[in-house]
Amino acid sequence: MKKLNRKKLRSILMEEYEKQSELNEFASSRSGKKFAQQGKKIESAGLAIRQLAEDQTGKMRETLYNVSEFINKLGNSISGINELNEEGISHTDSLPTISELKKLRKAIQRLEK
């Protein structure tokens, strides 16, 4: 077996270390796992809002469904932080979009009138 000098060994180790993104590092840490657990709680809040929507009618029902969908999508994105990175999909693809937020905002504004 070849002997490696310290510089070469260090460069090999640093190269492996640098390949991992900061998000991947976070996702595999203890804090990242807790973050994903909180995402599951957010998802369950979205489902609870959806159940509340069942008792409503008209625009209120539709708006609550939209709120539920937005929150569920956000929670799903957070709770799936580990799975998304392993599959090579960008984590930003699973987040709700700005247009979805604007749509939700307009729907809530309509209810205030």
Query: Domains of the chain: which residue ranges?
Result: 35-112
Selected residue with higher pLDDT from 79 and 9: 79
| 73-91 tens-digit pLDDT | 999 999 988 775 555 667 7
Which letter, b or e, does each residue of 65-104 get, where b requires 16 or more Cβ atoms within 10 Å of its Cβ? Answer: bbbbbbbbbbbbbbbbbeebbeeeeebeebebeeeeeeeb
Q: What is the mean pLDDT of residues 16-20?
A: 62
What number of other Cβ atoms are within 10 A of residue 17's Cβ? 9
- Nearest residue to 51 (alpha-carbon basis) of 36, 72, 78: 72
pTM of the model: 0.75
